[in-house]
Amino acid sequence: MKSLIAEDDFSSRFYIKKLLSAYGQCDVTSDGLEAVMAFKLAFEEKQPYDVIVLDIMMPNMDGQEALKAIREFEQEQGISEKDEVKIVMATALDNPKDVFEAMYRGRCSSYLVKPFGEKKLHELMVELRLI
Amino acid sequence: MINTGPDKSIKHSDIVRLSDFMIEETGIHLGPDKQALIEGRLHKRMRELALPSFDVYMDYVFSPKGKSNEIIHLIDILTTNKTDFFREPNHFEYLMDSVIPEFKNEGEAGVRRALNVWSAGCSSGEEPYTLSILFNEFLENNPWFRYQIIATDISTRVLDMAKKGVFEIDKMSDVPLMYKRKYFLKGKGENSNLAKAIPRLKSNILFGRINLMEMPYPLDITFDVIFCRNVIIYFKKPVQEKVVNALSQKLRKGGYLFMGHSETLTGMDIPLERINSTVYRKL
């Protein structure tokens, strides 16, 4: 399983990276813009990500915008909904408005409320059929 | 008439005298902006010693007995120590993403040596404990990894705090909650605002007092990494250069020196290669 993290806070990024590295290659970026670039690059190299964890609040481009950009790109490429990359939104605040926006407009696959541990992440990976 | 008690005011000339004394003994330059802070702290010290006036305190400081006994307290009083967990996170990221992988590739076979890190000017311990959290996390997936952190400061007051490893939870906002749960024990009752580092976090940190002005440093090891952040800003330029050279002597070839964000080493005659504005490497 190949994963990508977009998280602007180093300690959180370090923490999530360690959790996801247990499942395979895990790349990190520190904002939404970098994440979209990394996603496109991996797609072009035909080594796409299986899952992307996007923090919602980030500088340059936030998680919502990155989610939108990735879904738009997939549409342009003619990728069917079932082959879309799994995108998990991570939010520090249990903010229903953000989650609603991401789930229904942005079509994210799921969300994680920070802080989350190994168990929660594992359950989600199973739920998303990534492992 | 209101009885104001004995004269406890501090004369400007005394501050100047103390400042000169501090530069001579510690290299620490007390700027004029620090005067109010210094006065406040000196008053507190006088109360602790139950001295009637500042003149009496000054006489004590400059007496032979005072010079040997009081200097260490003066240093504690006059040096400011602001620090946070995960301060300047790009340094920790560079350490974990570039320095450690390099160390990992250094020698696959045989017995691995420990990574030696010096936290020079560790203050109340946030920096060495941050390092210890990161190293403990790394260790879980890399059981071969061994490390040793030497944490030093000029101030015994902050060193005592660092050794205890007890922190105010309010000041730990940069520590992810999962790490707080994993590496700290929350106090109970009246200590519920405090968190204590677990023994595992402390076990590879050695604390000791080192005055960076007293060279060479009493450490018989060379380091892979030295953190000396926001320490030399208190020194004047020529002293800074001396300190950086002395620190460099304690770095192994290819070892890294991390400096504070406002501490440029540009123009100094030092055996270091500049990686970026705050990261340097021993030639």
The total of structural domains in chain A comes to 1
Candidates A11, A114, A115; nearest CB to B89:
A11
Candidates B140, B141, B174; nearest CB to A11:
B174
Task: Check whether A51 has a pLDDT greater than 70.
Answer: yes
> Is the CB of residue B172 less than 8 Å away from at least one CB of chain A?
no
Residue A95: predicted pLDDT: 75
Task: Check whether B2 has a pLDDT greater than 60.
Answer: no
* pLDDT tier, B7 (very low <50, low <70, confident <90, very high otherwise): low
- What is the Cα–Cα distance from B49 to B56, expressed in whole angstroms? 11
Residue A104: predicted pLDDT: 80
Least confident stretch, A64-73, B4-13, B227-236, B263-272: B4-13
> Is the CB of residue B92 less than 8 Å away from at least one CB of chain A?
yes
The runs of H, that is alpha helices, within chain B are: 12-26, 35-49, 54-62, 64-69, 71-78, 89-94, 100-106, 126-141, 156-164, 177-183, 199-202, 237-249
Specify if A18 maps to a domain. Answer: yes
ipTM, interface predicted TM-score of the complex: 0.81
Q: Which domain holds residue A54?
A: 3-126
Residues 6 or more apart whose CB falls under 8 angstroms from that of B74 comprise B18, B22, B45, B61
Domain ranges of chain B: 12-78, 89-282
CA nearest neighbour of B134 among B68, B185, B179, B81? B179
Verdict on whether the full-model pTM lies above 0.80: yes
Candidates A9, A21, A115; nearest CB to B177:
A115
Is the CB of B141 less than 8 angstroms away from the CB of A22? yes
Give pLDDT tens digits for A3-31.
Answer: 999 999 999 999 999 999 999 999 999 99
CATH number of B89-282: 3.40.50.150
B93 vs A contacts (CB less than 8 Å): 10, 14
Compute the average pLDDT of residues B23-50. 79
* pLDDT tier, B120 (very low <50, low <70, confident <90, very high otherwise): very high
Task: Tell me the residues of chain A between 100 and 129 that have a Cβ less than 8 Å away from chain B.
Answer: 114-115, 117
Residue A11: predicted pLDDT: 94
- What share of chain B in percent tops pLDDT 90? 58
Candidates B92, B137, B179; nearest CB to A10:
B92
- Order the strands of the B205-209 sheet from edge to edge: B205-209, B147-153, B115-120, B223-228, B251-259, B279-282, B272-276
Candidates A9, A22, A117; nearest CB to B178:
A117
A115 vs B contacts (CB less than 8 Å): 176-178
Task: Check whether B5 has a pLDDT greater than 80.
Answer: no
A21 vs B contacts (CB less than 8 Å): 141
Is the CB of B176 less than 8 angstroms away from the CB of A21? no
> Is the CB of residue B183 less than 8 Å away from at least one CB of chain A?
no
Compute the average pLDDT of residues B93-98. 96
Specify if A13 maps to a domain. Answer: yes
Output phi, psi for A96, to 5 deg.
Answer: -60, -30
Task: Check whether B191 has a pLDDT greater than 60.
Answer: yes
Task: Tell me the residues of chain B between 48 and 87 that have a Cβ less than 8 Å away from chain A.
Answer: 86
- What is the Cα–Cα distance from B84 to B230, expressed in whole angstroms? 12
CATH number of the domain enclosing A102: 3.40.50.2300
Specify if A131 maps to a domain. Answer: no
Least confident stretch, B2-16, B176-190, B227-241, B259-273: B2-16
For chain B, give the mean pLDDT: 89
Question: Regarding predicted confidence, which is higher, A106 or B202?
Answer: B202
**Class at the top of the CATH hierarchy for domain B12-78:** mainly alpha
Give pLDDT tens digits for B209-238.
Answer: 999 989 999 999 999 999 999 888 878 888
Find out whether B279 and B261 touch, Cβ atoms under 8 Å. Answer: no
Residue B76: predicted pLDDT: 74
Residues 6 or more apart whose CB falls under 8 angstroms from that of A70 comprise A35, A36, A39, A52, A85, A87
